[in-house]
Amino acid sequence: MPLLEVKDLTVRFDTGGGTVHAVSGVTYALEPGETLGVVGESGSGKSVHVLSMLGLIPKPPGRIAGGQVIFEGRDLLTMPEGELRDIRGKKIGVIFQDPMTSLNPVLTVETQIAEAITSHGLMSRKAAKARAVELLDLVGIPEPQKRVTQYPHQFSGGMRQRAMIAIGVACEPKLLIADEATTALDVTVQAQILDLMKDLKKKLGMAMIWITHDMGVVAGLADNVQVMYGGRIMERGPSRAVFNDTRSAYTWGLLRSLPDHSEGRVYETHTPGQAKKRPRLQQIAGAPPDMTNPPPGDPFAPRNPFATERCHREVPPLVQARDAAPGHLVAAWYDLPQALLTNPTGAVPAAAGEAA
Ligand SMILES: Nc1ncnc2c1ncn2[C@@H]1O[C@H](COP(=O)(O)OP(=O)(O)OP(=O)(O)O)[C@@H](O)[C@H]1O
Ligand SMILES: [Mg+2]
């Protein structure tokens, strides 16, 4: 039984400038203990897809236009707000980069962690305060007894992020959702936090949805990767399969680069040694679609040098890729050229912290 089943999730924003097609027909299942990495350019619907399942998009202008999100057998999208609020933070922990939902500057770290626990009626105030110290210790904050009585401004950026993680896992959730949780941190601190996450995942046995722009983070952390574009899933599968046997031109573009092919080149090639010196996420030629007026077919078709006539016309379904690992799915009417599939430079990107 999957822990979470997202079925045909569709989210719209009705704005003065038109209806934004933020998320369209997103469908996937997450197993207990699984770590899913969600990647894609800005505006691809990564945040809205998780915010909407948690009841956190502003309505209006937002609206759930269709779908179901089954968590432990119940649909989160039709659940009364009170019950959803109880699941949020208790069974589904969240860590956002958004300062709105970050730490409160006028409350001690102890108060904030204890509040996260007592608001779900899990423990007495006194027991929750003792638990706050344990949690700071668990997330690797030194001298937790002393630190717990401090305010967020007395913490470094990395320590604040650890404190946010402590709050996110305070109730030992079945699922932890992190949206750009390490993006603001420097590379060394980020690597420490990712190690911590791997460790916590083992200790607590929770599943994770990890949203990031950084392919290196995903390579180091995720069992499965889901690549989003124009509010849709373009490719999904075991991380190794998606990185080494890429089937979507969009994923390929994220991993390599799609330089100007008017010069006769389609994709830049480079050796793995050179690849490490390059930024991990390359710019893809062309601009993301205007989501108030999305293309009728494959949203990536206008930027895809391999697009066929059908790509411009019809949305491709997300299906098992041909001769690929089981569970490796792709939404594409076209085939990437064999030369790209078997490209010997198609290595897994260096996991964050491992890069030279
Ligand atoms: N409150 C809102 N009102 C109108 N449109 C919105 C709102 N929130 C999000 N959108 C739109 O929904 C689409 C998906 O946005 P989303 O925030 O999910 O992107 P993202 O993939 O998380 O991007 P980023 O990497 O920049 O965080 C975008 O077109 C965005 O402009
Ligand atoms: Mg986002």
CATH code of residue 139: 3.40.50.300
- Decide which of 152, 186, 212 is a domain's last residue: 212
Mean pLDDT for 45-74 is: 96
Mean pLDDT for 222-235 is: 96
Residue 172 lies in a domain: yes
DSSP summary character for residue 300: T
Looking at the structure of the chain, the number of domains it has is 2
Q: Residue 76 — pLDDT band, cuts 50, 70, 90?
A: very high
Same domain, 111 and 176: yes
Same domain, 230 and 202: no
- Between the CA of 12 and the centroid of ligand 2 the distance, in Å, is 15
pLDDT, tens only, 319-340: 999 999 999 999 999 998 876 6
Mean pLDDT for 67-87 is: 95
**Ligand 1 atom closest to Cα of 43?**
19
Task: Indicate which residue's Cα is closest to atom 3 of ligand 1.
Answer: 13
pLDDT, tens only, 93-149: 999 875 445 789 899 999 999 999 999 988 999 999 999 999 999 888 999 999 999
- Decide which of 151, 181, 212 is a domain's last residue: 212
pLDDT tops 60 at residue 275? no
Residue 126 lies in a domain: yes
Of 168-172, 269-273, 283-287, give the lowest mean pLDDT range. 269-273
Starting at the edge strand found earlier in the chain, the sheet holding 232-238 runs 92-96, 175-179, 207-211, 35-39, 224-229, 232-238, 329-330, 319-320
Task: Indicate which residue's Cα is closest to atom 7 of ligand 1.
Answer: 13
- Between the CA of 185 and the centroid of ligand 2 the distance, in Å, is 16
Q: Is the CB of 15 under 6 A from ligand 1?
A: yes
Task: Indicate which residue's Cα is closest to atom 5 of ligand 1.
Answer: 13
Q: Residue 215 — pLDDT band, cuts 50, 70, 90?
A: confident
Q: What is the pLDDT of residue 341?
A: 61
Q: Is the CB of 304 under 6 A from ligand 1?
A: no
DSSP run (H or E) holding 215 = helix 215-221
Of 92-106, 224-238, 307-321, give the lowest mean pLDDT range. 92-106
CA distances from 79 to 49, 53, 69 (A): 17, 11, 10
User: What's the domain range around 165?
Assistant: 31-58+80-212
pLDDT tops 50 at residue 159? yes
Of 209-223, 242-256, 260-274, 275-289, give the lowest mean pLDDT range. 260-274
CA dihedral 204, 220, 256, 181 (to 10 degrees): 50
Q: Could you tell me which residue, 213 or 261, shows the higher pLDDT? A: 213
Same domain, 201 and 243: no
Q: Is the CB of 42 under 6 A from ligand 1?
A: yes
CA distances from 164 to 38, 135, 136, 158, 169 (A): 20, 11, 10, 10, 9
Q: Is the CB of 190 under 6 A from ligand 1?
A: no
- Between the CA of 296 and the centroid of ligand 1 the distance, in Å, is 20
Q: Is the CB of 40 under 6 A from ligand 1?
A: yes
Closest to 91 measured CA to CA, from 231, 182, 207:
207
User: In a 3-state reduction of DSSP, which class is residue 130?
Assistant: helix
pLDDT tops 90 at residue 161? no
Q: What is the pLDDT of residue 314?
A: 97
- Decide which of 188, 212, 236 is a domain's last residue: 212
Same domain, 96 and 131: yes
Closest to 10 measured CA to CA, from 45, 54, 34:
45
Of 199-208, 249-258, 316-325, 326-335, give the lowest mean pLDDT range. 249-258
Residue 15 lies in a domain: no
